[in-house]
Every structure is written in C-alpha cells, then in structure tokens.
Structure 1
Amino acid sequence: MKLVGIAIALAAVVALGALGGCANESRNDSIRAANKGAEAYGKKEIETAISNYKRAVELWPDNHEAWYGLGGSYAEKKDWTNAADAISHAVQLVPDQAMYQLLYGRILYEKAVRTAQEEEGRKENKKPEEVVPDLTSVNFEKPLQQLQEAVKLNNELWRAHYYIGRIYRDTGRAKEAAEELTRTLQAAPTDPGPWVALAELYRQWDYTDQAIQIAEAGTAVVPGITEKADIWFEVGMGYDDKRLYDKAIDAYTKSLEAKRDKHTAKFQRGQAYYRKNDYGNAKRDLEEFSKTGGVSVQFEKQQAAKMLVDIAAKSVVPGSTPVEQPKSPEDVVKKGKGRGKRGR
C-alpha cells in the first residue's frame, strides 16, 4: 500500500507539472496573440487587431494588456459598448494602472454621449450624427469617477484632465471646466480638441481676446494641416465676434484649406463677406454652402437663404443695401445668454 501511495503521489506531481506546462503554453500563446494585435493596431488594421486580442484573452483571461488593447481597438470603431466591456476587465485586473482608468473613463463618456445622441435622434426622427443633444442632464458620474481615479494615480495625464473638463463643461460647471482645460493645455497637447474646447468656453463668456489667443496658440502647437481645421475655425469666430471681418475671413479660409468639407467655415466666411458688403464673394460661399451642407446645419441654411435674398434684391436695385443683416447662430445664442454675463 505504501508503494501505491508513492506511485499516486508521483503521478499527481507529473499531472500538476503537465497542467503547469499547458498553462504556461496558453499564457505564451496569449502574449504572442496580443503582440500581433498590437502590431495590427499600429497599422490601423483594426479588425485584425480585435481578432488577435480576442484570441489572446480566450487563451489567458488574465492578460490585462490584451483586454486594454481590445478596448482601445473597439474604441477606434466607436463601438463603445464592446469597448467598455473589454476595458472594464483590464481595470478589474489592474485597478492601479492609470492608463486603464483613463481609457475606461473616456469610453464611458463617449458611450453616454452617443446614447444621448441616439435618444435625441429618435425623438427628432434624425440620424444621431445630425442632432446636438442637451448633455446637461446626462449622468456622467461613472466616467468622471474613472477619470478622477486616473489623475489621482498620475496627475500628468493631460487627456484625463481634458475629459474631466468636457464633463464639467457639458454639465454646466464652467469654472471647473476652465480649470481642467487650462491644466490640459499646460502639457501642450497635439490633439486639437482641448484648444478648441477652451477657446469655445472663453467665447461663451465673451472673453474674446483670450479665446483668440488660445486658438492661435493651438495652431502653432498642433502638427499637420487637417488637424488644425477646427482650431482655425475658432480663430475666425473670435475675430468675427470683434467685427474684424478681414481677419475672420483669413482664418476661415485656412480652416477650409485644412478641411474642404468644413461646411460651417464656408457659411461663416460667406456671412463675414456679407457683413463687409463684399456681396460677390458672399454669394459664392453661401450658394456653395447651401448645396453641400447637411441636415445638421439647417439653421445656418436658413440664414444663408435670407442673405442670398438680400443680395439678390440689392443686385436689382443699384445702390441699395440690405435692410437687416441676419444673425448667425452664435449671435442668437449670445442674445439669450451672453448679454447678462457682462453685468455680473
């Protein structure tokens, strides 16, 4: 019996060794699959990346780096539901990794915004991309929690501060938003988003000079040409607010050079030409905008139509001038919000 006991013990040791070998093999295969996923992601082959990352976590469910890569890959597709599920596994496995918390918070934020767009789109019978939902009532508690945890772990993560700033902005906490966005810009990010966000915020407060200063600084920091389209647009809007139409037109032109389908820049440039009585260029821009702008710029199309009618009337009666200059969407907003702020 003693010999049988020894034999069983030896067999158990051999079996455990074999199981350990299988476990190590699965882990190594998982790491190799994750490396292939990372390589595909770097080449923007997102579907291939997803396939490899999924294989990696199947082989070794504790491969947190693979879960992180899978979440990032789904985020590239704007598949926020699958992205959130994947990155949540990475966070659960390694909760003290700041980058995991950052990505989780960002994905949850984007998911919440997308849900709001879809709900508003159903109400208006439009595509989600064609509506601008009211985000003030959206519950951003969970993404804010993850992002705050990220900066707690690493306060140098400018993108975490950026998304915290966006949440504060979306929920009407303007002062906190400005603080977070300012902290973001101290890192001189090459992403145009933070520069645009803070410039927009300053313009809403009627701090036009500061808005222009921020946006122009962004054009010097952000590399590339296409990436600067939205920043140049903000520069133009700032000069438009100051009635410096030549400078506004120059900025809008740079925005359009960076991104030819920046339809709002075409509208704003046409309106700036109109306001400086350059009706030939105004007519060209406004007509082109009216033909190309989508449903999301319906209000601007109505304004363009009014200006074109005025221009047509002027061409019939030489020497006359348009009776009233139509208000831009920005002017309409400021009439309702901005005037009272100066008296505070």
Structure 2
Amino acid sequence: MKKLVGIALIALLLVSFLLTGCRPPEVEGVVVDIQHGMYDKALEGAQKAVELYPDNAEAWYYLGFLYGRKGEFKKMNEAFDKALALNPDQKVKYDNVDVPLKKAVEQIRLNYFVQNHNSGIQDFNKANQTDDPEQRKQYLASAAKKFTAAHEAYPTRVEPLQPLALTYLQLGDTATAEKYFLETLQTNPNNDTLLSMVGEFYMMAGKLDKAQEMYDRALEINPQNVNALLAMAQLMTTKDDWEKAVTYFEKALELEPDNADISFNIGLSYYRLEKYQEAIPYLMRTLEKEPDNEKVYEVIGVCYIQGKMYEEALPFLKKAVEKFPNNHYLWNYIAIAYANLGNDEEAQKAYEKAKALESAQLQ
C-alpha cells in the first residue's frame, strides 16, 4: 500500500512538472499574480525572476508585459527584445491563452501603438479646431505625449513621426521633432517612406537643403517613390527651378498617369517657363479628368493669349464662357484674342462684358 502511495505521489509530481513546463517557481508566482490582478506584486516578482533566471524568455516576457501596463514602453521593449532573442517560440499567456511569445509581443506592441496613436490624432485635430490659444496648447501637449508613447510602444512603426513633428513644430519645438526623426533614421536608414517624411519636416521647418538631401536619399533607394518625386518637384518650385520641377513631375506622372493634379502642375511649370505650347497639352489632360475645374480653363486661356495663339484660343474660350458665363477673366481673354485678330467690334463687346462682370463682383 505504501508503495502504491509513493507511486501516486511521484506521478502527481510528474504531472505538476509537465504542466509548468519546467517553469521556475518565481516565474510561476508572477503568472499567478497576474491572473489575480496583483500587478504591482507581479512586477516585483518578474524583476526578481529575471535576476535569478536571466536566460528565461518567459520571465523577460512577463516583465515586459507588466512594464507595458504601467506605460513604461521603453522598458517594455527592452524586456521583450531580450525575450525574443532567447526564445521567440516560447509559449506564454496572452489573454488567458497560450500563444508563441513572438505573437504575444507583436499584439501587445500593436495594441499600445494603435491606442496611443489614434488618441494622439484626436487631440491633434482638437488643437487645430479650437480658437482658444491655451486650450490649443494643452491639446498639442497631450497629442505629443501620446504620439511619443505610440512611437515608444512600437519603435519600428513610422506613422507617429509626421504628426509628432507637426505637433512639436506647432509647439515651437523643432529641435525635439528633428530628434525623433533622426533617431528613427538611425534604425531605418533605408526606409524611403521615412526619408520622405523627414524631408517634409525639413520643408516645413524651412531647411530646404536638408529636405533635398532626404528626398535624394529616398529616390536613390526607391526611384518610384511618387511622394518623394512630388515633394522634390515642389521643392524645386520653391527654388524657382521650374526645369527641374518639370523633370520630377513628369517622372511622377509616368507612375500615376491618371493624376490630374500632377498634369496640372506640369502645365503650370511650363507656363512659368513661358513655354505656353508645351503647357497646354498637360492642362488639357487635367481638364479631361476635371471638366468642371474653372481654374484650369483660366490657365489654359492665359497660355493661349501669352503664346499669341489667338486663333486657337477663340474656340476654346467661347466654350469656356458657355460653361462659366460669369468669369470676367475668360471674357477678357476673348477681348484680347479678337483685338489681336483685328475684330475690334467683337473685342469691344467682350471687353465691356468683362468689365461689367468684374464691377458686379466687386460690389
């Protein structure tokens, strides 16, 4: 009988051993404390557990989990990184379910990232909707705190960086905004999307040479980065280098041939270069996509007039005033075209129509 009791006791111990999976008692205590909601006690236990068992991935995981609950995301990720380096496939508890450690870490990081990033966006939008300067400052400070938390929770995600930079820019702290961008670039030097974002930040800060450096790096990595191409084109317009602007806009249009804004900007760039004939086809292309865009009609009209293409101008302008009969610019262009073609009577009529419309709009 005693022998049977001994066998049963050994069997019970073996079952216990299998259930805990060789889990040290200190780690087991942390798990139990978490299950009972005693998080402060669990944190103390986890800190002791990693000291006693520095090669135990599960101990580091629970330490990271508990730091995350306290909002200490840098410490959370330090612990998670150690756990992942030791055993990414270690089974751990997440939402009372046994899952691989790497899956649990990914989900925890993502949850904290989404929670803080979305809340930061809400505060940022509120800041830009209020007219109260003090309230605006408070919302921006709150947004900065949440964007920073989102970035710390998931450091490889670049989404918070642009709004974080904008927030600090509006708070007047460009140095902090730049710091976050450059820190991230150190860990993601070949991320063309991130480089483009940093370029945008430098544009907003008025540091055009640094912006150009970032866009150049982005395009060297990915020549098909449309955002970087468009940003570089806009930068060239800021420098009044319209020839280079056209080059970048045209590369972007090759990648997005149905983008009406790009074709319009190419047309506008050619207009600034006084290459009116080259401008018109791109502007017409925009008009095909946006047939009700009154501004495009005006720019095409002025290209015809400035290019002294009076005969070609009249049919286009007559159709334009049928669509926009109260546009005094279009009537004025008609007057100029008729005058240069020697039809003074029609020129006078169109001129009087233009003046009447302009006077009416000023009243």
2:299 corresponds to 1:268: yes
Partner residue in 1 for 2:284: 253
Q: 1:90 aligns with which of 131, 150, 154?
A: 150
Shift of 1:217: 1.0
Deviations 1:276-304 (A, max 9, x none): 3313324544785797xxxxxxxxxxxx6
Gap change, CA 1:163 and 1:273, over 3 Å in 2:
same
Counterparts in 2 of 1:153 and 1:288: CA distance versus 1, 3 Å: farther
Q: Match for 1:305 among 328, 338, 350?
A: 328
1:280 counterpart letter in structure 2? P
Structure 2 unmatched ranges of 5 or more: 1-25, 38-61, 70-92, 98-104, 127-139, 348-363
Amino acid at match of 1:197: A
Distance 2:295 2:96 in 1: 47
Question: Which shifted more, 263-272 or 195-204?
Answer: 263-272
Residue matched to 2:260:
229
Task: Tell me the distance in 2 between the aligned counterparts of 1:70 and 1:18.
Answer: 27
Contact 1:235–1:251 at 8 Å: present in 2 too? yes
Cα deviation for residue 22 of structure 1 reads 5.3
Within 2, Cα distance between the matches of 1:239 and 1:20?
67
Contact 1:104 1:146 in 2 (8 A): no
CA contact (8 A) 1:196 1:230 kept: no
Cα separation, 2, equivalents of 1:284 and 1:197: 35
CA distance in 1, matches of 2:221, 2:120: 24
1:66 corresponds to: 111
Q: 1:87 to 1:171 in 2, by over 3 A?
A: closer
Q: Displacement, 1:272? A: 2.0
CA–CA distance in 1 between the matches of 2:119 and 2:290?
26
Alignment partner, residue 195 of structure 1: 229
Partner amino acid for 1:239? Y
Paired amino acid for 1:28: Y
Residues 308-340 of structure 1 show CA distances to partners (whole Å, capped at 9, x for unaligned) of: 335247658961698xxxxxxxxxxxxxxxxxx
Q: Do residues 19 (structure 1) and 79 (structure 2) align?
A: no
Task: Give a deviation string over 1:68-97, Cα, whole Å, max 9, x none.
Answer: 234555688884868655432233345xx2
Residue aligned with 1:186, SS: helix
Partner of 1:108: 164
Query: Aligned-residue CA RMSD in angstroms?
Result: 4.5
Deviation of 1:63 after TM superposition, in Å, equals 3.0
The letter of the residue matching 1:309 is N
Distance apart, 1:212 and its partner CA: 1.4
Amino acid at match of 2:235: L
Q: State TM-score, norm by structure 2.
A: 0.52
Q: Which residue of 1 aligns with 2:246?
A: 212
Q: CA deviation at 1:152?
A: 1.2
- Work out whether residues 305 and 337 of structure 2, in 8 Å CA contact, stay in contact via their aligned partners in 1: no
| Separation in structure 2 between the aligned mates of residue 13 and residue 208 of structure 1, nearest angstrom | 66
Query: How much does 1:239 deviate?
Result: 1.8
Look up the equivalent residue of 1:106 and give its one-letter code.
Q
Quick one: structure 1 residues 257 and 111, their matched pair in 2 at CA, closer, same or farther if it must change by over 3 Å? farther
Which has the higher relative contact order, 1 or 2, with Cα contacts under 8 A spaced 6 or more apart?
1
Query: Could you say what secondary structure the match of 1:220 adopts?
Result: helix
For residues 155 and 290 of structure 1, what CA distance do their matches in structure 2 show? 55
Q: CA–CA distance in 1 between the matches of 2:229 and 2:284?
A: 19
CA contact (8 A) 2:147 2:164 kept: no
Per the alignment, do residues 73 and 210 of structure 1 end up closer, same or farther by CA in structure 2, a change over 3 Å counting? same
Q: Report the Cα offset of residue 157 of structure 1.
A: 1.8
Look up the match of 1:3. none
Residues 183 and 265 of structure 1: CA distance in aligned 2, closer, same or farther (over 3 Å): farther
Contact 1:65 1:90 in 2 (8 A): no
Identical-residue share of aligned pairs (%)? 17
Aligned residue number for residue 11 of structure 2: none
